[in-house]
Copies of this chain bind each other. A is one copy, B any other.
Amino acid sequence: MYSRRSLLLAGAAPAVLPSRAARRGYSWAEIERMIARGEVKGKLTRDDLPTPALLLDLDAFERNIARMAEHASKCGRRLRPHAKTHKCPEIARALMRAGAVGACTAKISEAEVLAEHGISGLLVTSAPVGRHRIERALRLARKAPDTVFCVDDAGNARQLSEAARQGRLTLNLAIELLVGQRSGIACGRPALELAQLIESLPNVRLAGLQAYSGPSSHVVGFEARRKHSIEAMTPAVETRRLIEKSGIECGWLSGGSTGTYNIDSEIDGVSELQPGSYIFMDIDYNIIGGRDGELYRDFENSLTVLATVYSKPSRDVAIVDAGLKSFATDRKVGPAPKDLPGVPYMWMGDEHGKLELARAPREVKLGDRIEFLVPHCDPTVNLYDELYCLRGDNVEAVWRIAARGRNQ
């Protein structure tokens, strides 16, 4: 079902041709300095980058952002993209310039980094459980007062209220509904009771409902995915009505993933979308199938990893310098070399990957640079400190993945 060739119809940049910069020939010492200072525009090209390197194709990235923004706007849905995908303040800003109302974050530490960089409209999609996380939530709310924190437990809501009362501020809470198979409170009566409790407590207010159905996002086949997501989200929108019928205001219901953005946006009551991966895409999303075909192509693969062949033990084998410390390994699919259709990549340990070249469309030599589509974008990004932003072959910017590793 997964046709690598068709994935790559758009063609790939000829990454191994010598570039202008390679001809100019910067030394490594010069390149290192430019990267550290971020002074790369008009100087560095793809060939200058140390590998493994995480690359962003800015043209594709910008088209992805515009496409989702247009969809949300057309459907009258707010867009709060999930920052756990990119962990990068520059990207959060780019999304807000395109109309996003803020950013979701998975954890408080991730939100802290974005707030430090001036991002507003934060929604922390996990609950601040425990004394220290509550203290962090208060500190963050003081810095970024429109931040919303998810809760799914009455005791936790009471503790947050009490802490906010002592801290003399008001916390915005969202109730996380159990629509996936992990965290959240059951839809219906239990969620209503939690809403009523929040309504009754001092120094907390109910901002909205969080309903992310992870299992729906990767259901293969558009119609099957549609059915799955509607089944998962229906109890959530019913819960919203139940709460509102009880007289409690409930500003929004946030849901949707890259896989279900155009499904959930048609569900009455889902007022906000929170997809993440669409800005980058990955093989695991490509293969879930789109509305119109076997490959999901609503968004383009803008994220790649650049590697170097650093051993050629035999004519038909190339060993690259990117292994399981350079790609996420949680999916069944592995990385795919972008301009070598039909060439399989095999994991060969932490720092090695093997390319079987028997069916390679061209010769691959020691020192060649190979660009790979990534299996799963979020945890791949979490392995890197920098994102090299390319316009064609030219490096336009180096963006710090400032919340990399901030998973607390």
The closest CB in chain B to the CB of A214 belongs to B349
Tell me which residues across on chain B come within 8 A of A325, comparing CB atoms.
378-379, 382, 407
Binary interface encoding of chain A residues 93-123 relative to chain B, with 1 for a CB under 8 A from any of its CBs, else 0: 0000000000000110100000000000000
| Chain A, 319-345, CB within 8 A of any chain B CB | 319, 321-322, 324-326, 328-330
CA distance A349 to B308 in the complex (A): 30
Q: For the complex formed by this chain, how many copies does it contain in all?
A: 2
Which residues in chain A, 59-98, are within 8 Å of chain B measured between CB atoms? 84
Q: Is A50 close to B, CB under 8 A?
A: yes
**A390 CB → nearest B CB, Å:** 18
Query: A298 near B: Cβ within 8 Å?
Result: no
The prevalent SS among residues of A at the interface is loop
**Within the complex, what minimum Cβ distance (angstroms) separates A312 from chain B?**
7
User: Which B residues lie within 8 Å of A48 (CB)?
Assistant: 132
| Minimum distance in angstroms from A253 CB to a CB of chain B | 19
Q: Give how many A residues have a beta carbon under 8 Å from the other chain's beta carbons.
A: 71
Chain A 206-226 interface 0/1 with B at a Cβ cutoff of 8 Å (1 = within): 000000001000000000000
Closest B residue, CB atoms, query A348: B182
Is A393 engaged at the interface, CB distance under 8 Å to the other chain?
A: no
Let me know if A126 and B321 touch, CB within 8 A. Answer: yes
CB distance from A387 to the nearest CB of B (A): 13
Please report the C-alpha to C-alpha distance between residue A186 and residue B130 in the assembled complex, in whole angstroms.
57
Considering the complex, give the chain B residue whose CB is closest to the CB of A185: B313
Taking CB atoms, residues of chain B closer than 8 Å to A350 are 84, 106, 378-379, 382, 407
In the bound complex, what is the Cα–Cα distance between A181 and B308 (angstroms)? Answer: 18
Does A31 make an interface contact (CB < 8 A)?
yes
- Chain B residues contacting A241 (CB-CB under 8 Å) are none
Q: Which residues of B contact A185 (CB under 8 A)?
A: 313
Given contacts A107-B321, A127-B310, A348-B182, contact A155 B329 (CB under 8 A): no
Q: Closest residue of chain B to A382, judged by CB?
A: B325
A183 on the B face (CB < 8 A): yes
- Say if the beta carbon of A385 comes within 8 Å of chain B: yes
What are 18 sample pairs from A and B whose C-beta atoms fall under 8 A apart?
A: A27-B135, A28-B131, A84-B350, A107-B351, A126-B311, A126-B351, A153-B312, A155-B366, A182-B348, A182-B352, A183-B352, A321-B408, A324-B328, A325-B407, A350-B382, A383-B405, A384-B405, A404-B405
Residues of A at under 8 Å CB distance from B? 25, 27-29, 31, 48, 50-53, 84, 106-107, 109, 126-127, 129-133, 135-136, 139, 152-153, 155-156, 176, 178, 181-186, 214, 308-313, 319, 321-322, 324-326, 328-330, 347-352, 354, 366-367, 378-379, 382-385, 404-405, 407-408
